[in-house]
Structure 1
Amino acid sequence: MHPVSRRRFLAVSAASAGTAAALALGAPSAQAAADARASAGGRRPFGRYGSPAARRTPQTLYVDPLGRGDFTTVRDAVAAASGSGWTLVLAPGVYRETVVLDPTRTEATWIGACEDPRDVVIVYDNAAGTAKPGGGTYGTTGSATTTLQAAGFTAHRITFANDWLRADHPDITGTQAVAVKVQGDRSAFHHCRFLGHQDTLYADSMSLTAFARQYYTHCYVQGDVDFVFGRATAVLERCHFRTLNRTDLAGAPYGFVFAPSTAGANPLGQLVTGSRISSEAPDAFYKLARPWVPSSDTTARPMLTVRDTRMDAGIDAAAPYTNMSASFPWQSQRFAEYRNTGPGARITVPENRPQLTRDQARSATREAYLGDWEPWKGEC
């Protein structure tokens, strides 16, 4: 199998997600198809969400790469939406840019105007080792295509992607390439997609002492190394996680799905419930998780609970957890499972698969993790 080129990355990602519609950046025929979808709305590129001539609310802005909205880029729309409570409606298209929603722009909502999140794509291609203008490199945080720092953020039906590929940059060793870094409390994502390879979805917080709550539902996340990671209290419900094949490694493991870095003082880390983990890779070539204890917080005690989730054969059932550092063995962290199914969830070595009791499972729910915030009631 030949390495996937960056230009074909989103097309292959779309196929992995089970779609017949392919979007291949830079490929003329596929780009023409994307342009056709972007213009398919005719006079209604924003669907049921109004238009600049019939604005949904005074604080609604319309973004369209073909120029039929208030702005052609998400970045410019964010810059114009200062303060709290703005809604951006994004027409179909590819937004190749980096975007930062700073902490002052609270209670923001971004809506993909199509029912299919594959039609609205925010994508860029920086990696941790990519050279910055003026010197230095971006680092993991700086590699993010989209950075969301404000509290109360909600996204519907949008694809967040980083299409940087190792095969295109054999000289770069810093291969982390974040699609989205989420730091704000009460951040919710409905029917969104997160595409990348290493460090795809960075579910984090604004500081070591901030316990940001995040909610992801009916989302698709793909990658290879630590592709859902960070210190947030994050509930991922009814999501699909897809591990990618690799041609640059001779053997297992190819990577790790989760890498929580929960603060030791935080009683709640990552909760995965009612979801599925599938794989393009050979059987048992992926670990379910490893703990990340960063140098900035050596008191971290990573926490991950995976429950009522199907794990396909790509997950190593006999040894699903491993160490990131021998100084912080996974057995000393907070990993647990409950009522998982599928070949990757088989309990063949009990000491390698810590399980919740029925009483403990009663506290491993979205309500317990998110408190008085109920984002599952925020469908659009």
Structure 2
Amino acid sequence: MDTPAPHASPTEHPRRKPRHRRRKTALAVGLPLTLTAAGALAYTPLLGDEAQPTASAATAPAWATATADGFASVNSLGQNGTYGGRDGKTVTVKTLADLEKYATAAEPYVIVVAATIDMNPVGKEIKVASDKTIVGSGTSGHIVGGGFFLGTGVHNVIIRNLTIRDSYQGTWNDKDHDFDAIQMDGAHHVWIDHNDLRHMADGLIDVRKDSTNVTVSWNRLSDNNKTFGIGWTENVVTDITIHHNWFRETEQRNPSTDNAAHAHLYNNFLEDVAGTTIKSSYGNYSRGATKMVLENSYFQGFTNPVIRDSTAAIVQRGNTFSGTSGRNESGGTAFDPKTYYAYTLDKTADVPSLLKSGTGPRSSIGTTASTLAAAATTLTVAKDGSGQYSTVQAAVNAVQANNPSRVVIAVKPGTYRELVKVPFNKPHVTIQGTGGSRKDTVIVYNNASGTPKPDGSGTYGTSGSATVAVEADDFQARNLTITNDFDEAANQSLSGHQAVALRTAADKIFLDSLIVNGDQDTLLLDTSGADKLGRVYVRNSYITGNVDFIFGRATAVIDQSVITLKKRWNGTSAGYVTAPSTAAARKGILINRSAINGDVTAGSFYLGRNWHAGGDASLRPQTTVRNTTLSAAIKSTPWSDMGGFSWKNDRFAEYKNTGAGAGSASTDRPHLTDAQASDQETADWLGDWTPTAS
């Protein structure tokens, strides 16, 4: 969030601006908007079942009647503890309309979120009314592209067991998009528990303007800049407990606590992971007149792990600092939390492992025996033996042939050096990383086109080099990194350096929140046959490469993603983003609402070239790049011939791109008219298929 605090950190540069602004509609596509790297557009929410009452308060399970600990449990301001909507009905929601209907109602409700709900417009914050429990059903409750707002006087609210993610707009220190996961202005008695909060345009949690009696517990907070801010008031009234939270890949406000009367932080894990792009600026910050007690927390690799203003207090007890640097401060007098509530400290040495396994949404919360029985089959994979299988391929092998319903392969954090193939007779499979970041779970291998097969039967060829190969319809992958780390420099004698990270050759493929890494031919989007339809929808993802690294004959949409250009093995900058080989009667590759950039020489990359696979003159390769930010790396004449075929005889165009690499329309740079663009939207590519997470 960007409104300045009375005691602004020197590492922050906030400015005032209106709150709760809504974005102008630029393009309607009929699909969810979650992460916009460039451009803005409206969407329609996913259709789902009507909200259904599931239980009365008298018969509700334990999670529906749970009460908060910490300062949220303290009686004050006319409220006796925090218990949410336990006195009302329990309803299950799967649509934005139903979620908003019950969250804003005057009556108490326990609201079970049992689907992925995309906010419309992006950045929307639902204004939650008092006496509400909003809880995810197991791990299926996702709020994408927005969050919740608790205004003045709102009280007795529980937000629990949800994943709230992906309102990020492509600008790291974003001053223009105040899109928070959970924000409260003058609320009291609020419990935020067991959530996964990540990748938002602004704050993950903002506790502002005299909000008090707040407890934040057992959450994962990751992949964010301004993570958790407390204060924005001259009054010293806020009482807050923050315990058993895992801060990972977060830069600042971890939390920043300004003018809090009592801030009790214990058993938190703040981890700055070496080698990642996000570097911590500071950890726990006591500001203004804050009195903070900091106990049995574990700081790993953090810069400036604990800092305080000269006017603030920090009392430290039992904390561990491993690989930290910079300021680590304490001083002044605070308070004894046990005069307000009872609590038990876990051993500091146990905190990392305890929080890695215990934070975030739980399958046992928000579900009943009947809903668990009806849920999709889940197979677990873990390198350390704690899952059902130790490799991803072993779990794929365990899926029955021609399985009739969804099978989720939940892969615990770790690096899995293996080849994975999902064969055509195993549809409805989801491979999903369970870590707090898509970087936590990595599937990697290093075959290239020219790599000899172990059995001496030749080389793998381009399609056979894939680290992960998907040949089954209705496949999904989520929250993973898939990499081909073939070393071109070390294998110059090898003929064939194409090295695929991910190959799809099926229909209805949904790739969500991935990192797909490679150099040449990174992402092969194919079909099961020349006459077969193969639709692929990629969103909220990062794709890296240099030569033809998004290619194939599929009908594919790359939406709301970041495409990163890499230098070649010898340090030179030259390449092609796409190489479509589209059949004449089909749609090719659509890059929409994304960003194309990278640390390469200006004017060194083409947006694409026309691949007539096998010299087939009947093909009409197609790439459209629209509403996307193009860096200076893109050539002013962004399309190229391939294999003796002129790109001008095929289908290449742009529409309303921005950035240093964008350019005016010309014969060498076709632009769509508005009328043409209206027929080249996501819905035109995907037809009767609406991708939904499952």
Q: Which of 640, 646, 668 lines up with 1:329 in the alignment?
A: 646
Residues 185 and 205, structure 1, Cα contact 8 Å, conserved in 2: yes
Point out the more displaced range, 241-250 or 147-156: 241-250
User: How many corresponding residue pairs?
Assistant: 346
Instruction: Confirm whether residue 48 of structure 1 aligns to residue 362 of structure 2.
Output: yes
Q: Which of 114, 131, 136 lines up with 2:452 in the alignment?
A: 131
- Say which SS state the counterpart of residue 208 (structure 1) adopts: coil
Match of residue 529 from structure 2: 207
Match of residue 623 from structure 2: 304
Q: CA deviation at 1:244?
A: 0.5
Q: CA deviation at 1:48?
A: 3.4
Q: CA deviation at 1:23?
A: 6.1
Q: CA deviation at 1:372?
A: 1.6
Which residue identity does 2:654 align to in structure 1?
E
Residues 519 and 568, structure 2, Cα contact 8 Å, conserved in 1: no
Q: 1:100 to 1:302 in 2, by over 3 A?
A: same
Q: 1:68 to 1:39 in 2, by over 3 A?
A: farther
Residues 588 and 621, structure 2, Cα contact 8 Å, conserved in 1: yes
Which residue identity does 1:203 align to in structure 2?
L
Q: TM-score, normalised by structure 2?
A: 0.47
- Say which SS state the counterpart of residue 614 (structure 2) adopts: coil
Match of residue 257 from structure 1: 577
- Say which SS state the counterpart of residue 393 (structure 2) adopts: helix
Paired with 1:249 and 1:265, the residues of 2 have a C-alpha distance of 39
Q: CA deviation at 1:41?
A: 5.3
Match of residue 94 from structure 1: 415
Q: 1:199 to 1:21 in 2, by over 3 A?
A: farther
Q: 1:37 to 1:89 in 2, by over 3 A?
A: farther
Which residue identity does 1:310 align to in structure 2?
T
Unaligned runs of 5+ in 2: 1-224, 226-248, 250-271, 277-300, 302-322, 324-349
Residues 39 and 45, structure 1, Cα contact 8 Å, conserved in 2: no
Deviations 1:220-267 (A, max 9, x none): 0000000000000001110100000235266x6x1100111101232x
Residues 124 and 145, structure 1, Cα contact 8 Å, conserved in 2: yes
Instruction: Confirm whether residue 271 of structure 1 aligns to residue 271 of structure 2.
Output: no
Paired with 1:280 and 1:115, the residues of 2 have a C-alpha distance of 27
Paired with 2:681 and 2:671, the residues of 1 have a C-alpha distance of 15
Q: 1:115 to 1:42 in 2, by over 3 A?
A: closer
Which residue identity does 1:80 align to in structure 2?
A
Residues 45 and 113, structure 1, Cα contact 8 Å, conserved in 2: no
Q: 1:249 to 1:93 in 2, by over 3 A?
A: closer
Paired with 1:106 and 1:247, the residues of 2 have a C-alpha distance of 37
Deviations 1:168-191 (A, max 9, x none): 212112000000101110000111
Q: 1:201 to 1:41 in 2, by over 3 A?
A: farther
Residues 610 and 641, structure 2, Cα contact 8 Å, conserved in 1: yes
Match of residue 80 from structure 1: 398
Aligned counterparts, 1:1-380, within 5 A: 21-22=273-274, 43-44=357-358, 48-49=362-363, 57=375, 59-82=377-400, 83-84=402-403, 85-135=406-456, 136-246=458-568, 248=570, 254-266=574-586, 268-295=587-614, 297-317=616-636, 319-326=637-644, 328-347=645-664, 350-375=666-691, 378-379=692-693
Residues 129 and 172, structure 1, Cα contact 8 Å, conserved in 2: yes
Q: 1:58 to 1:109 in 2, by over 3 A?
A: closer
Paired with 1:297 and 1:78, the residues of 2 have a C-alpha distance of 35
Paired with 1:304 and 1:239, the residues of 2 have a C-alpha distance of 16
Which residue identity does 1:103 align to in structure 2?
F
Q: Which has the higher contact order (CA 8 A, sep 6+)?
A: 1
Match of residue 8 from structure 1: none
Q: 1:179 to 1:41 in 2, by over 3 A?
A: farther
Paired with 2:469 and 2:359, the residues of 1 have a C-alpha distance of 26
Paired with 2:360 and 2:386, the residues of 1 have a C-alpha distance of 9
Residues 49 and 89, structure 1, Cα contact 8 Å, conserved in 2: no
Residues 429 and 475, structure 2, Cα contact 8 Å, conserved in 1: yes
Which residue identity does 2:441 align to in structure 1?
V
- Say which SS state the counterpart of residue 214 (structure 1) adopts: strand
Residues 98 and 145, structure 1, Cα contact 8 Å, conserved in 2: yes
Task: Report the structure number with the largest CA radius of gyration.
Answer: 2
Which residue identity does 1:324 align to in structure 2?
M
- Say which SS state the counterpart of residue 613 (structure 2) adopts: coil
Paired with 2:352 and 2:681, the residues of 1 have a C-alpha distance of 39
Q: CA deviation at 1:45?
A: 9.1
- Say which SS state the counterpart of residue 203 (structure 1) adopts: strand
Paired with 1:152 and 1:46, the residues of 2 have a C-alpha distance of 27
Deviations 1:268-305 (A, max 9, x none): 11111100000211101111111111117442110111
Which residue identity does 1:352 align to in structure 2?
D
Higher fraction of helix: 1
Q: 1:346 to 1:127 in 2, by over 3 A?
A: same
Paired with 2:496 and 2:351, the residues of 1 have a C-alpha distance of 35
Deviations 1:65-84 (A, max 9, x none): 11111001000000001232
Residues 626 and 655, structure 2, Cα contact 8 Å, conserved in 1: yes
Residues 444 and 482, structure 2, Cα contact 8 Å, conserved in 1: yes
Query: C-alpha root-mean-square deviation of aligned residues, in Å?
Result: 2.8
Q: 1:321 to 1:42 in 2, by over 3 A?
A: closer
Q: 1:77 to 1:271 in 2, by over 3 A?
A: same
Q: CA deviation at 1:40?
A: 6.5
Which residue identity does 2:465 align to in structure 1?
S
Q: 1:325 to 1:249 in 2, by over 3 A?
A: farther
Q: 1:47 to 1:76 in 2, by over 3 A?
A: farther
Q: CA deviation at 1:43?
A: 4.6
Which residue identity does 2:399 align to in structure 1?
A
Point out the more displaced range, 128-137 or 96-105: 128-137
Q: 1:58 to 1:325 in 2, by over 3 A?
A: closer
Q: CA deviation at 1:346?
A: 1.7
Residues 47 and 113, structure 1, Cα contact 8 Å, conserved in 2: no
Q: 1:22 to 1:246 in 2, by over 3 A?
A: farther
Unaligned runs of 5+ in 1: 1-17, 25-29
Q: CA deviation at 1:114?
A: 2.0
Residues 489 and 569, structure 2, Cα contact 8 Å, conserved in 1: no
Paired with 1:202 and 1:190, the residues of 2 have a C-alpha distance of 16
Paired with 1:148 and 1:46, the residues of 2 have a C-alpha distance of 29
Paired with 1:38 and 1:357, the residues of 2 have a C-alpha distance of 55
Q: 1:358 to 1:88 in 2, by over 3 A?
A: same
